[in-house]
Structure 1
């Protein structure tokens, strides 16, 4: 009955779109963009790979509990689902994963989530166990054909619970699939890449307290007769130089992105000297949150096809490595990731303000784009879509910050005369990540109901150069909060938002910014929604996974030396200052931000007597994957805002238990 009512409301909304808009309170508008439609028609597209003209990719399916499936499109266009129902293609290396499969000779080798072992799979057969070790996770593999083996990153977790050990290893393709260590000593490894003649290997490494976007080392070694690495040399990188995506050109030059000049620009190394290929105030790299990320590749003639970010917007270009000249390729996309280059074509994940992140193939001869797999099949009239408006706004210290503003939009409604819409301020995760203008049904969910949104690229975000990215160093919980507050106040001053109905929401690091904004800037926001957010920095510093275990050294300061600073920046210690309603969402299997963080915040805010709700999810980790969790959290958040911001949603919503708030009459 409930689904039928939602369908009726959606139909009415669509039919009303052709009539004169009706005045109705913001937040109460009937929208065709329902939570059911969002989760039913969405895919989370991830890693992309090429094997000749065959295209492989991973897609996460919320409708299947977030299971990751390996897909194949053959050269004749036939699409095949390679992963059987019992398999989930996902590595837990670094917890964030990525680089979960590699393919060569039409055989795929992939990690599976349940046992973290590696399986091989021919194009027309079931998966077969390939290799694995107790407590080991593998990622970022490649096939070393001349030596009949795979080379991969191994993350070994000791039984005694001590810190994981990361190495580069080889795994034999034949016989007993013997695993041998090739490189050890650094805390982390990524991006192994073979030279065209198969004689050399290049890779990245870094060690605590650095994150890969702070500083990495690019090294090259030569294989001896036994397949071990000798004559290892450092090519680029340092504690304060981040190198991204080393890759050999067809002619044997090692190309990589480095931020040594303040931007991730492309450089080349010929075995003795390094040169700058193309200089620009643009980013040809990005933070390595996952393994196997790719922003460029080579055509057979050596030209480079690359995606780059300028002012936070992605572009596609061809670079002549001999002259350094860059020629843009016009595209309708503002986000371009996972770019792989074939013979006369490129494949990438592209998104625009009207198209969710999708798998795209571009024929370089005809300039024709073909969408192979859509991230969202949601069909909505364009009049219901809010177009992101890029804004630059003043913030603390006379600086400028950036965001995308999404005005409330629904052709069937207008707000009451003299009323301004509520505003949700989005604080993205990372915090060294980036908000993009790619179509996001979850944002349109709000705007089509009469709630405007601003997605903030606060200081510390990527896409605007190294200096902007480093604004957050030592200032997490200060700069990010200031910029989110400044974005909200800027829109209020422009008459685009109701200053008395401001909300802030975010996940992970964005959840910390959300909690911090309520605790350290009381009175600005009337409500907040934290998704698996950090409430106690000290607990996070003591209890998180290896990859991020020293991240706070740069964001806050060394721990425990700066223990007092950690305490002062922890929202849990400033609950007495919070004066706003709060809802918390948490996956109980979260290994990045322990669930006790949300529980502690809930208990503390409840004890203070403020409206607060806590919605936990069994089986969910850091980031919700299953349709049921995504749907429930969206609807619960809408219900919560309706109660505390003073509007009545048109949707038939399941109630949320809100402590310290009388039930609705």
Structure 2
């Protein structure tokens, strides 16, 4: 979208152990607006059960990539993340050109701000087999006016605190620089909720009832996708915050992730392993 300008953006990919170059694996493409390029080595930590560790995906036979998405490249006049689909599409082409993933087994994934972003990309980009969205939101208009999830019950003074995220002119990944009173159509045009008819791949929605992002956002997204005839699944966990922490719920979530990806983009079992009971490797 910027003729005459060339920019190199770097992302890193975690490959499954023992992956044979001749057999590109399925891949999880993690989406998050503003994600910075870089390849800093990550060391698994066992002090806290991280339910979103990329090493859990790699152990199941999936490559994992968090795509770099600098704000200045994904922001356009159409919206704060309107350039993200093109950014992800370019990353997809580079990954496939390098032979690092199976073109028919690519899954979009997003958590928090990444969830609304992944749903947006799924509506505007082809070449992906499924999308997983966790603990995010889907409608910019109702999110602007709505309560800040569980925080609204604990601290009534926080009502309206979603508004600065959108009213900001800069410094926010979803900065509109305008209120819905000034640019209602812009809020509508950028909301994945109203793009539900454009999402034609299987969707897994995951949320919790004590998040700062209200679960009602995904209640609506599920209804919109189901109304459009999309193959959507929705699971939410009671008593959990922004993400899950209960060991039992972490296990349950990964059994559901394995079942969902196993049905949409199955991965061969890693060397020396056997399939688990959830239907995935």
TM-score by length of 1: 0.34
Change (3 A) 1:456 1:610: same
Flag the structure with higher helix content: 2
- The structure number with the bigger radius of gyration is 1
Question: 2 CA distance for matches of 1:653 and 1:534?
Answer: 31
Match of 1:400 in 2: 8
- Note the C-alpha offset of 1:605: 1.7
Alignment partner of 1:589 out of 201, 207, 210: 210
Whether contact under 8 Å (2:74, 2:84) holds in the other structure is no
Match of 2:129 in 1: 526
- Note the C-alpha offset of 1:648: 6.8
Secondary structure of the residue aligned to 2:12 is strand
Structure 2 unaligned spans of 5+: 45-49, 149-157, 169-174
Alignment partner of 2:105 out of 493, 497, 501: 501
Whether contact under 8 Å (1:473, 1:556) holds in the other structure is no
Question: 2 CA distance for matches of 1:611 and 1:622?
Answer: 25
Question: 2 CA distance for matches of 1:472 and 1:622?
Answer: 26
Structure 1 unaligned spans of 5+: 1-395, 461-467, 657-665
Secondary structure of the residue aligned to 2:9 is strand
Match of 2:241 in 1: 621
State the aligned residue count: 247
Larger relative contact order, structure 1 or 2 (CA cutoff 8 Å, min sep 6): 2
Alignment partner of 1:553 out of 167, 174, 182: 167
Match of 1:426 in 2: 30
Alignment partner of 2:63 out of 452, 456, 460: 452
Whether contact under 8 Å (1:520, 1:571) holds in the other structure is no
Match of 1:198 in 2: none
Match of 2:256 in 1: 636
Secondary structure of the residue aligned to 1:584 is strand
Change (3 A) 1:421 1:654: closer
Alignment partner of 1:489 out of 83, 93, 97: 93
Question: 2 CA distance for matches of 1:473 and 1:639?
Answer: 37
Q: Deviations over 1:606-631 (max 9, x none)?
A: 22223211110001122222222322
Whether contact under 8 Å (1:639, 1:653) holds in the other structure is no
Flag the structure with higher strand content: 1
Q: Deviations over 1:476-525 (max 9, x none)?
A: 3323333233222210111111111111111111001110111122x221
TM-score by length of 2: 0.77
Match of 2:185 in 1: 564
Match of 1:316 in 2: none
Whether contact under 8 Å (2:24, 2:102) holds in the other structure is yes
Question: 2 CA distance for matches of 1:548 and 1:528?
Answer: 25
